[in-house]
A and B are shown apart, each in its own frame.
Chain A
Amino acid sequence: MSPLDLLVAAPLAFMVASLVVGRGGRWLILAASPAMLALSAWLVALPPDAAHLVGDWELPLGILLRADGVARLLVPATSLCFVAVGLYAWHEFSPKSGRETARAHTFWPLLYLMWGGSNAGYLTTDLFNLYVTIEMVSLAAVAMAAMGSLAAGLQYFLIALVGSLAYLLGVALLAAHYDTVDATLLAIHARPDLPTLLAITVMTAGLLVKTALFPLHGWLPPAHAAAPAPASALLSAVVVKLGFVIILRLWFEAFAEVVRPAAMHLLGGMGALAILYGSIQAIRQERLKSLVAYSTVAQLGYLFLAFPLISNAPNPAEPWAAVLVHAVAHMLAKAAMFLAAGLMLKAVAGERISDLAGLARAMPLSVTAFALAAISLTGLPPSGGFTAKFLLLHAAIEQGSVVYAAVLVIGGLLGAVYLFRPLSVACSGSAAPVVKAEAPLRVAAPLALAALAVALGFAGMMLIELSSLSAPPAAAGPLPAEPGR
């Protein structure tokens, strides 16, 4: 057995186990957490080109699991999110009565399904296999979203279905055209002909819908804001990253030779608009969880803004690392922020930002977790978010792309505007509101995640080294013309 197999198999085994034990399902997280963290650590420590064929079938028939840079960064980060969310939810979804019991039964199998699915998604190179993982994650995500609002869940379901079908269509096209759907093999054989371009287009479009890149983001804020806090945390932190990683793999690994610079700028432009639009919407929100959800729309923009920066860079390793670090930092910080928001809103039994008045005194630990997460999301130093945005800004200035540099700076400032608002409200008032005392163990989950997001700022060299294990994207030839130059 290799850790690559186990990272996929273990969560699925826990899913089955949680279905079997029913009411006591929440206890399994105490076993799953150390096991999965140990497996993630093992993954990071594997030799540089570690890969594993499932069942020892050779390509193109078999399935290749691979420990590349993307997997080594994102699998541990997702596992940390799942562990923290699981420990937080251990309390929230304990069997009590009525509806709570139903949630306590359903939440845990969904959590493990999503966990296994996203791990498989980061490790595999087979595009059809990726389809299966997307479906696993989407299924769990839709069900979790439906826990908060049935309407939002249904809308999400339809969108996810359309996205999956589009992706599957592309996979079918490729299979018919190349007789393989393995990304490593496609990288060798891909030609820029019509079926290939069509396949890339529909696959990317389907994935963009699922990743909620502006202007395809409409379903995200209602679904993420309505779900219970642990579910919101997973939806915003983990689920949307999978679609992004697959696009990243398609564009820079499988079809690096086929994709045109103009297409890179199209994605980059959408990312830039997402940053501006998401930030402005976040500023306008009155409810805390909507604000955090719109912040996800904005932060996802950075992931795509990086595409043209990577493809144009004389030294692509840095923006490549930046985009992965951003994905990791956003995962940790966003999960922390949703969990902290959940604690605070539950304590004051409200949902508006104005309900937080004075909480800095009553719930200092939760507010600290929120603040640390905000530092990383805004991109203030020292934090993983800062490292990522710093490298992106550096790349943008190096390439002379004024527009992207300006969006990066403005996005950071807008981020400060919307994230300091709840903090400012929390610091207001001279009398502390009376709330139930913070349970140190529950607040530990968001606090640890947020502290990690900040601590990433000190580990820049290690992150860059890990990310360089992925097939570094091909260096661009002469710089193409770009907007704003």
Chain B
Amino acid sequence: MMTAVPLALVLLPLIPAIISFALPERLAGWRNAANLFVALIKVLIVADLLRQVRSGVDLEWRYTILPGHDFLLRVDTLALLFVSLSVFLWLVTTIYAIGYFGRGPNLARFFGFFNLCVLAATGVALSGTAVTFFLFYELLTLATWPLVVHNGDEKSLRAGRIYLAYTLAGSAAFLVGILWLKTLVGSIEFTAPPDLSAVPPLTLTLIFVLCVGGLGVKAALVPFHGWLPAAMAAPAPVSALLHAVAVVKAGAFGIVRMIYDVYGIGTVAELGLGPPLAALASFTILYGSLRAVMQTEIKKRLAYSTVSQVSYIVLGASLVGPFAVIGGLVHLVHQGIMKITLFLCAGALSNRLGIKAVADLDGAGRRMPVTMAAFSIGALGMIGVPPVAGFISKWYLGIGGLQSDASWVVAVLAGSSLLNAAYFLPMLYRAWLLPPPEQAAFRELGTASDRMLVLPAVVTAAASLAAGVFASSSFSPLTWAKLIAEMGYLK
């Protein structure tokens, strides 16, 4: 059904973006209100869309930008998985950002570009053709750059340079890949996968390498992961939403689209592309965890943990078995809510107590108990302790590995979990069991601003817990991932 709803959903953040750019700093209250209001509206729209799509409604908006290249926005189950994650986390992070920054310089710019990022992320999710996907994927790069260099110091500027170098090169490879494929098989629409039978296997393999390699930059696949730890120079809300969720997810999401909606499971299996990609993803999982153990700075440790965790999604997609598909897809959501919890807490700790290094965490649990409680739930989830959401992901991935005759996946998962424990448990130990250094009493939830800083993490931590405990209920991410798999890929 042709409708402007998908377009409206994508463009909605333009309103707060323009308001944020235009309003002077003394009207910051109005700016915050506009941001929250639109974020809330978006959540409501997406909630309604979830209901509609579940009942089989098909919504799309099409516009021809160039001959043979349609701009297509389409609401399907996979798109909604990503969209609902991003609108929920956008709302949470907006509240957090207001509490985090209070009144500081450059906030108009921050909120303006923050909204443009959400626009791009929603566009990435709803894209119905490869070219549309590319447009939003590139817009995401552009809109995140000003946020990476937000602080304006030498470290941020350097991070900005590294970020652009990696991501623009990646996008260029991806663009060459999709244009090449387009000249061979015509328009690439995700709902109507192109007929690849006439293309020589070697060409198909090369195009796959170009596309997945290009997308792998944002998904932080080793060896293209270097930008992610560097980009931690950005303020915490940026690290939280963009680097833990929007940007890396856009890459992982693109790889999922490539495997399932462009090439199709059959072709990927025929070409033998799954096992090498699964091997690369597994290597990334272990390498990221190993590097995380070696970090002494909290945000850096979390960044390497992201490198590792995002590859679970790629691993699930590349194993192409039913349970692995579900595990990878559900991890798209689970990793998002758990990782954002960790980043929101890390930002709160550094913002209020000045804690940046792991060694400073001593006694943090006594000084900011609510924050550290949320952090602990996120960390346990990452390790895969039931009943937190991370356990569900790993369970499905493990069974998926066995189904696809790749039992080594179980070993990778076990190894990664051990490493996760090795870098998260010492942090929890320091925070809860060691005495704090002598310092003045600290009230965690004293002011409204404090509450805006701390409570978002509590919400996401609760969500991580709920996604695990109520995994079999009809509105859990797991149920939705099963729905996607049933409707799309396992016919």
Contact = CB atoms under 8 A, between A and B. Distances in A.
A462 to B, nearest CB: 11
Contacts of B145: 420
A380 interface: yes
B175 A393 contact: yes
A381 B66 contact: no
B38 interface: no
Nearest to B150: A427
A390 interface: yes
Interface of A: 318, 358, 360-361, 364, 375, 380-382, 387, 390-391, 393-394, 397-398, 405, 409, 412-413, 416, 420, 424, 427-430, 432, 458, 460-461, 464
A416 B168 contact: yes
A41 to B, nearest CB: 24
Q: Which of B64, B154, B168 has the most CB of A within 10 A?
A: B168
Given A394-B179, A394-B183, A427-B146, A461 B152 contact: no
A270 to B, nearest CB: 23
A416 B138 CA distance: 13
B176 A409 contact: yes
A318 B109 CA distance: 38
Contacts of B154: 428
23 contacts: A318-B67, A361-B105, A380-B138, A381-B134, A381-B139, A382-B135, A387-B66, A390-B175, A397-B179, A409-B175, A409-B176, A412-B172, A413-B172, A420-B160, A420-B164, A427-B146, A427-B149, A428-B149, A428-B152, A428-B157, A430-B151, A432-B105, A461-B67
Given A393-B176, A432-B105, 15 more contacts: A358-B152, A393-B175, A393-B179, A394-B182, A409-B172, A413-B168, A413-B172, A416-B168, A420-B160, A420-B164, A427-B157, A428-B149, A428-B152, A430-B153, A460-B65
Contacts of A361: 105-106
A458 B65 contact: yes
A412 B141 CA distance: 15
A429 B139 contact: no
A391 B138 CA distance: 17
A420 B149 CA distance: 12
Contacts of B105: 361, 430, 432
Contacts of B65: 387, 458, 460-461
A155 B395 CA distance: 74
Contacts of A364: 109
B157 A381 contact: no
Nearest to B169: A413
Nearest to B145: A420
Nearest to B146: A427
Nearest to A432: B105
Contacts of A430: 105, 151-153
Given A375-B142, A427-B146, A416 B66 contact: no
B62 interface: no
B152 A429 contact: yes
A464 B151 contact: no
B66 to A, nearest CB: 4
A416 B164 contact: yes
Contacts of B152: 358, 427-430
Nearest to B108: A364
